Structure 1
Amino acid sequence: MDNSWFLELDGLKLLIDPWLEGVEVDFFSWFNTQWHRTSPLPYDQLPDYNAVLITQKYPDHFHKVTLKKLQPKLVIGPSSIKKEIKKVLPETEFIGMDKKNSIVSVLDIDFHFLPTRRLIDPIYDGFVLSSKNESIYLLTHGFELDQEHSTALKIVPECTLLFTPFNLYKLPFFLGGVVSPGIKSVENLCQKLSPKVVVPTHDEDKYAKGIVSKFAKIEWSAKKEDLIKYPWLENRYQAFPDYKLKKIS
């Protein structure tokens, strides 16, 4: 599926990257326009939530039309979206995260910001949520964890849940290069984090038009029966075919 999620961790109820209607447009419609092939959850079926987390600055994560309709009281996200958040949601409290403000706490859940080492766009950072006993990694475009990341995360409990894409999605370098690094990245993350559960995210086969879709090279994730043959994945893999609320066990 794509990257809209609802998570409940201890007392925190969190809506992540909500995109519940319409299209997402990168820069111009002729450049890249995408829309869901699988129907999102209707607004009236959303559970109550305390906050919204925006994991990336791009419109398939930071979907302004959806946010305007939701009018959340609190949004957490990369500091780079602060000005746009204030335009879209002038009454909403915003907590911006970056290298300098890398840990914040909301309802006793710590949010950890993981900066990528990439210096030019597209930049895909990561987030980790942690309670006293567990942690959830939100690596929505994959991630390369280095020693500095690992050192900073020593304070974080064991990884119980990892969200990361399984598809390999690659563009020419002049359009951004690798967008999602594919199954090898999943394996590397599993080896470093030893998550109890791994959930594919940001892998929906969306409708698309524009220059980006014409240049994109996609290696779709293998089917479940093939994925669970990997010894590092067989007991961890859980995938979801739609946006209906389900329990991750």
Structure 2
Amino acid sequence: MYFTWLDSNSWLLEISGKNILIDPWLVGALTFGNLNWLFKGERRNPRPIPQKIDLILLSQGLEDHAHPETLKQLNKNIPVVGSPNAAKVAQGLGYTQVRALEQGTTYCLENQIEIKALPGSPIGPTTIENAYLLKDLTTGNTVYYEPHGYHAPELKEMAAIDVVITPLINISLPLVGPIIRGQQTALDLAKLVHPQVMLPTAEAGDVVYEGLLVSLLKVSGNLEDFRSMLARENLSTRVLNPQPGERFEVSLQQRPVSVV
């Protein structure tokens, strides 16, 4: 199983011989509603578009997960699976194979990878976007992805999970509170699903952010803090520190099979 972190929440996951592009932002600037004065992210170096993409997986419909400029650049015949809000974005951009995945339902990619949608991040007072559990049907290995640190209690029924991609730091705004939940929330998740490996997401990488909103953000915690938290709980989970744009392999141990 191979991973490439492409900054922010963007990942390329190579699993069961398939390449899955997750929440891609590869070209252009990142803004919300074209309000550059409020928030703008720009890459020091643009990320090349992967040559082989078997599926685009979108967790949310917001620009930092369903980035319009990037989606305009990609082949519109690539299958897209996303939350209902993200599916609307892809459909509006002309994608021909779009599946809106409701929470609790699954999508199977060529009988090799099962993708289950779970409750993820709340967006506004009434909308909850998607988290995903991906399962390699040939090996049984699993990967869980949630980009803001909101984890559904039903994950306990799906433990153990091999690889978890989630924030490991906290980012908050005055008066609003946490917008990215890591540290304690990630520790609770580790105790719940006992992952072999955890990978941090939602960090800047090679991106430069500016704007009024950025000046108000408060960041707390780091990977070493989180490793210490795991050690105090006697958890053997490995925390990796991926470098932007560098492909790396995650080796997993075969879990013991329970005999009834």
The normalised TM-score by structure 1 is 0.83
> Out of 11, 19, 24, which is 1:18 matched to?
24
CA 1:82/1:150 → structure 2, altered by over 3 Å: closer, same or farther?
closer
Cα distance, 1:91 vs structure 2: 4.0
RMSD over aligned CA atoms reads 2.5
> Out of 91, 96, 99, which is 2:100 matched to?
96
Counterpart in the other structure of 2:53:
49
Identity of aligned residues (%): 23
Counterpart in the other structure of 1:111:
115
For residue 179 of structure 1, what is the amino acid of its counterpart? I
Cα distance, 1:143 vs structure 2: 1.9
Cα distance, 1:40 vs structure 2: 4.8
Structure 1: unaligned runs, 5 residues or longer = none
CA 1:63/1:117 → structure 2, altered by over 3 Å: closer, same or farther?
closer
Distance 1:193 1:40 in 2: 35
The normalised TM-score by structure 2 is 0.80
After superposition, what is the alpha-carbon deviation per residue over 1:26-71, rounded to whole angstroms, capped at 9, x for unaligned? 122222211235x35323xx24121111122221211111111112
Q: Name the count of aligned residue pairs.
A: 235
Q: Which has the higher strand share?
A: 2
SS of the aligned residue for 1:19 comes to coil
For residue 34 of structure 1, what is the amino acid of its counterpart? G
The reply to whether residue 221 of structure 1 matches residue 214 of structure 2 is no
Runs of 4+ displaced beyond 6 Å: none
SS of the aligned residue for 2:248 comes to coil
Cα distance, 1:209 vs structure 2: 2.2
Cα distance, 1:138 vs structure 2: 0.2
Distance 1:157 1:131 in 2: 15
8 Å CA contact 1:200–1:239 kept in 2: the answer is yes
> Out of 126, 132, 153, which is 1:127 matched to?
132
Counterpart in the other structure of 1:6:
12
Counterpart in the other structure of 2:209:
208
Cα distance, 1:6 vs structure 2: 1.3
Matches within 5 A, 1:112-191: 112-116=116-120, 118=122, 120=125, 123-132=128-137, 133-146=140-153, 149-150=154-155, 154=157, 156=158, 158-174=160-176, 177-191=177-191
SS of the aligned residue for 2:191 comes to helix
After superposition, what is the alpha-carbon deviation per residue over 1:221-245, rounded to whole angstroms, capped at 9, x for unaligned? 144xx54443156641111122122
Distance 2:120 2:13 in 1: 24
8 Å CA contact 1:71–1:92 kept in 2: the answer is no
8 Å CA contact 2:59–2:86 kept in 1: the answer is no
Structure 2: unaligned runs, 5 residues or longer = 1-6, 252-260
Counterpart in the other structure of 1:77:
82
